[in-house]
Amino acid sequence: MERLLVLARHGQSEWNLKNLFTGWRDPGLTDRGVEEAVKAGRWLKSEGYGFDVAFTSDLGRAQRTCTLILEEMGQPNIETLRSQALNERDYGDLSGLNKDDARDRWGAEQVHTWRRSYDVAPPGGESLKDTAARVLPYYIESILPRVMAGQRVLVAAHGNSLRALAMVLDHLTPSTISGLEIGTGVPLVYRLKEDTTVASKSVLERDIDNA
């Protein structure tokens, strides 16, 4: 039984390119973001991976990434489930602001705390702890049973919703999660044991211009 779980952050979005806080806003992918998603699908296919079911968020950039990956793998019609539970963390009042402008307004240390701490939320938004409070129940109730039944599962979502999952899978702590970066369009490949813990993990590291 494979018990395969692949997590993929969406490709570069228009607001990633502009250095804006995005959160629940819904900009599209850039040309580079499309290329990242296509190349992720190509790499997964070349390594012999395939999927039985996919999960994604309610936001278009994750949905399109999911679609592009599956199309590139020749699996455009597999069951795909969408849930707001997998959305990016809500950046509240920071949404749409340039990150450099936010540092000028509130100070670099405060903005860093909002971005990387585990339990400090930006004004009107969510902390990573808040994000995990919706992501993890959905994972346990909807995603994990599919994996443990032997289905091969793709989750195409966002930097912070996937950080919340990786925190549990990789046994990271509130103090060490701040150092985890998940690149756009980079799949994290997990295989789980019978007890739901991680048997192995691999990360696609590649240069988008040379992949």
Q: What CATH number does residue 130 fall under?
A: 3.40.50.1240
Query: Mind listing the pLDDT tens digit of every residue in the chain (211 residues)?
Result: 889 999 999 999 999 999 999 999 999 999 999 999 999 999 999 999 999 999 999 999 999 999 999 999 999 999 999 999 999 999 999 999 999 999 999 999 999 999 888 999 999 999 999 999 999 999 999 999 999 999 999 999 999 999 999 999 999 998 898 888 899 999 999 999 999 999 999 997 654 444 3
Q: What is the pTM of this model?
A: 0.93
Quick one: CA dihedral 45, 12, 113, 205, positive or negative?
Answer: positive
Are the C-beta atoms of 132 and 164 separated by less than 8 Å? Answer: yes
Residue numbers of the domain that contains 82: 4-203
Give the pair of three-digit tokens for residue 34. 């499309």
For this structure, is 88 an active site residue? yes
Residue 209 lies in a domain: no
For 8, residues 6+ apart whose C-beta sits below 8 A from its C-beta are: 37, 40, 65, 66, 69, 154, 155, 156, 157, 185, 186, 187, 188
Please give the Cα distance from 66 to 180 (Å, whole number).
Answer: 22
Candidates 35, 36, 72, 88; catalytic one: 88
Annotated catalytic residue 171:
no
User: Given 10, 35, 72, 158, which residue is catalytic?
Assistant: 10
**Residue at 176: amino acid letter:** T
208 found inside a domain: no
